[in-house]
Each structure stands twice: as structure tokens, then as C-alpha cells.
Amino acid sequence: MQIIRSVKDLEAVLQQYEEINFVPTMGNLHAGHLSLVSEAKKYDGITLVSIFINPLQFAPNEDLDIYPRTEKQDLKELEKINCDVVFCPEPNFAEGVKKLHANSDLSKKLCGISRPHFFHGVISILNHFFQLIKPKNVFFGLKDYQQYLIVKDFLTQSTLKTSIHGIPIVREPDGLAMSSRNNLLTPDQRLIASKLSVILKDTALQAKIKNLEHLRVEGIKKLEELNFKVDYFSFCNSSTLEEIDDFEENTLLAIAVNLGGVRLIDNYLIQ
């Protein structure tokens, strides 16, 4: 496995290969990330993973400083699953990046309400990666469903010939969606955190037969009783993220909460 740190070295490697299957990450890899890499490996060409904690997607009051950094361990995991190339750019990689705006209809909803800078930062850094790498395929986890939709929209509007693949959420045995932020939870918070996926699933399974507003109020109440601070609890159209009042095919139930300062998100596509 080749480990590259400079853009110059990356360009030299890219010249040797035609088809790049790209998995962008911020490191602290877990089984969810590794499932993206395994999926990428099914395609012709090489698998390239980037590890870069993108400062552009964090607001000054957010958790950039405490975001888990575990590069040594990450590289071991990637080596084990035969990743071909890992690009770990220097911290100044984001300097001078062209600042882009994510699709405003999609990026103003859900996470975009409390984190208005977030998707613009994500799209700006991804555009920088995509322009350098020109990947054939890119892989995103569906836990970050809104991010997946926004990147998909961005690629549709761009001249890049890159296909995007959304990969199902990987969960811990107790149901908690895998996330690097789970490592920031205390053992007590970790136990409570698993209830998020239980409430999500229970609510989603009743959506076809019960009033959605009633389910929403009940769901929020249950979460608050467990000390979650609810950022949003939304039944929405899974293509537009528009809130809905009545169940329709492909409704997305998306939830974001804060537990002791740790932001957790999860979602369920109700088909």
C-alpha cells in the first residue's frame, strides 16, 4: 500500500492509473469506512482513500480540535484490507481551496440549519480532491444521507465523469450507527446512545399507519427523556429533503441529536 502526503507525489501516482475508485474520509476509520473501501475494491482500477480532517466544514465553535486523530491505526486497517493508495495531505491542503456553494435547496435543510457552513465546506474540499484525482467512482456512507444527496447533485451539475455510490449504514451490535464521534462518548453516554437507533427504527416502522406529527412529537419526547438534545426529527422526501405531513413512498426519517456535547445523526429510509 502506498502512502502519499504531497500533491506532487499524488499526481505522479495518478499518472500510472486510469481508473480510480475514491473513498474520501476524515480518518478514525471504523467498519463503516472499511465497507466503503470493500465496495470500491469491487470495481476495476485502484482504490484510493484520503484521510484529511477538513477544517472548512467545522465552524469555530465546533469539535475540530477534539476530532479523533488515529492515523497510525487507520493505515494498519487499510493495509489489512488491501487498499492500494492512501493520500494523507498536509494540514495546509485546504488553504487556497476554491470556496464553492453546495446546492442551496438541499444544503439549507436538516443539518444545514444548525451547521450552515458545513456542506459548503464539504463540497469545496471534495471538489479540490475530485479535480486532482478525477475518480471514476466515489463512495459515500448513507449515514450521512444529506451529504450523499448533495455530493450526488454536485456531480450531476459538474463536468466530471464520476459515478457516486451510496453504501448502507453499518451499525454496532446494539444498533448505534458507526461514527468516529462515537469515540467521544463516555461509557454511560455510549449506553444511552444506542437508544437513538431503537427510537428511530420503532418510529419509522409505524410511519405507514400513524400520524407523522404525532410520531414526531412522541419520538422527540422519548429522546428528551433520555437526555438527548434534539436538533431535528424529520420525516422528509428522500430526494428533496422537503418535510412531509403524510406518508409517501421513500420517506426518509432523519434525526440529529446532541448527547453531552457529541453530535449524533442517524436515518431510516422507509420503503
Q: Cite the active site residues.
A: 33
* Binding segment toward ligand PAF, per CB under 6 A, in 21-29, 38-46, 130-138, 247-255: 21-29
Inter-residue contact 228 to 219 (CB < 8 Å): no
SS3 80: helix
Please say whether the beta carbons of 180 and 28 come within 8 A: yes
Whole-angstrom CA distances from 249 to 144, 208, 244 are 20, 9, 11
* Site map 85..114 versus ligand PAF, x via CB under 6 A: ------------------------------
Residue (99 or 221) nearer to ligand PAF, CB:
99
Which member of 4, 75, 78, 125 binds ligand PAF (CB under 6 A)?
Answer: 125
H helices present in the chain, as ranges: 7-14, 31-40, 71-80, 104-107, 111-114, 118-133, 145-157, 187-206, 212-225
Is residue 53 left, alpha or beta, with left meaning phi > 0 and alpha meaning psi from -120 to 50?
beta
- Toward ligand PAF, which CB reaches closer, 26 or 244? 26
Figure out which of the listed residues 21, 28, 54, 234 binds ligand PAF, where binding follows CB under 6 A.
54
Measured from the CB atom, the residue of 74 and 144 that comes closer to ligand PAF is: 144
Interacting span for ligand PAF (CB under 6 A) from 20-28, 62-70, 208-216, 219-227:
20-28
Do residues 33 and 141 lie in contact, with contact meaning Cβ atoms separated by under 8 Å?
yes
Q: What single-letter DSSP state applies at residue 151? A: H
C-beta of 33: minimal distance to ligand PAF in Å? 8
Contact between 24 and ligand PAF per CB under 6 A: yes
Selection from 183, 202, 172, 190 nearest residue 270 by Cα: 202
Report helix, strand or coil for 189: helix
Is residue 26 close enough to count as binding ligand PAF by CB under 6 A?
A: yes
Decide whether 125 or 257 has the Cβ nearer to ligand PAF.
Answer: 125
Among residues 39, 74, 84, 144, which is the contact residue for ligand PAF, using CB under 6 A?
A: 144
Q: Contact residues for ligand PAF (CB under 6 A)?
A: 24-26, 54, 57, 122, 125-126, 144, 147
